[in-house]
Amino acid sequence: MRSIGEMARDSGLGVSALRFYDGAGVLVPARVDPVTGYRWYGPEQLEESRLLTRLRRTGMPLADIRLVLAGWSGGDDDLVRQLLRAHLRRLELGLSDARSEFSTIRALLDDRENPMASLRTAPIRLTVSAPELAAALDAVRFAAGTDPELPVLGGVLFDIEGDELVVVATDRYRMAVATARTAGHGGPRAQVVVPSPLADAMRALLGGVASAGLTVDGDRVALETEGREAAGQCLGHGFPDYRRLVRLPAGRRAPVDVPAFREAVESGPVRSGVVREQDGASCDLSVLKVAADGVVTVCEDGDDDGDQVAVNRGFLLDALTAGARDRLVLDFGGPTAPLAIRRSDGGDAFSLLMPVRLDN
């Protein structure tokens, strides 16, 4: 017999998922202790749980999964094959419909003007605070993407408007935003996406100087400090509308002592080997919740609190480092809303971590 924790480890299903499937009558434990309520699973249920893991990865409806497992355990292979074929046909039809919709969307895109190109009409020259730009790049660089399929996310957005430069980076799973003061522009809003290697070269020039000159001329961007320059081509793609993405629902704000919280995250419970839907990459999750007294805790896997939020543990640790403060504020908007990590002093820099679903 396996405990629920052992079953979770051996099957690839989380404890909360096993509880869910028990409640749904899909994978019911062989025995439940009448006193403690502990769930125990028989040896034959390990194979079923691994089959269940594969079926849910295909997006099979719960009703069909229930029948597949019933047919599997009852030796009705014909039923299992019929259900698999039916689900595969649904997936193929869905893919055909998706291709049709994508073709329509691409046609709509072909008729649209690139807004980034329209924002770069004339050379722009301005002066930016070097310490503030250095701090801003340090605050966002960790969130820049590395996926070759999405080259537009492999850089840092420089959004120039009025006397402010906003720098933004995102890889879909996290986003970071910071600002620096500028002078000498006074023109319309302009945006360029600086490739990550060039952004790193710019950051290397900013130590020990008070200001830097930033020039944007067509698709070329340059940063100059005391006779040294880092320059190159901008990425020739648009960038997501970050202003839209940072509009979050009201939530609970909880201050954290960063050194102590980092230790809790590093040594606390973790759900291992969760596969991301978007790219199939595996990651470890930290499950967080805010107690009634405002204290943020790292939960055990399978905690049934509906307000808990699961995030990539490595990304969370990166965001704490990028925050560069001993005190930060975590903004919980709900289990499906991004987790915001803000400075307690009200500074403009902040980062967002996309949550990961924990149920089934």
CATH number of the domain that residue 218 is part of: 3.10.150.10
Any idea of the CA torsion for 75, 77, 82, 84, to the nearest 10 degrees? Answer: 90
pLDDT the model gives residue 283: 77
The answer to whether residues 157 and 241 touch, using CB atoms and an 8 Å cutoff, is no
135 with 177, same domain? yes
pLDDT the model gives residue 59: 86
pLDDT the model gives residue 359: 56
224 with 279, same domain? no
Residue 311 forms part of a structural domain: yes
pLDDT the model gives residue 280: 56
pLDDT digits (tens, 9 = 90+) for 222-236: 999 988 999 999 987
Host domain of residue 40: 2-90
The answer to whether residues 51 and 68 touch, using CB atoms and an 8 Å cutoff, is yes
Residue 145 forms part of a structural domain: yes
126 with 217, same domain? yes
CA distances from 252 to 153, 213, 303, 331 (A): 30, 40, 19, 6
Q: Cβ neighbours of residue 49 under 8 Å, at least 6 residues apart?
A: 7, 10, 11, 12, 13, 18, 27, 41
pTM score: 0.75
Residue 199 forms part of a structural domain: yes
Provide the phi-psi class of 334: left if phi over 0, else alpha when psi is between -120 and 50, else beta: left
Query: Can you list the residues of the chain whose pLDDT is less than 50?
Result: 118, 278, 360
pLDDT the model gives residue 259: 94
Phi, psi of 62 (to 5 degrees): -60, -40
Residue 148 forms part of a structural domain: yes
pLDDT the model gives residue 269: 85
**At which of 196, 211, 243 does a domain end?**
243
Q: Which two tokens stand for residue 279?
A: 């790219």
pLDDT the model gives residue 72: 86
194 bridge partner residues: 156
Q: Which two tokens stand for residue 214?
A: 């930033």
231 with 253, same domain? no
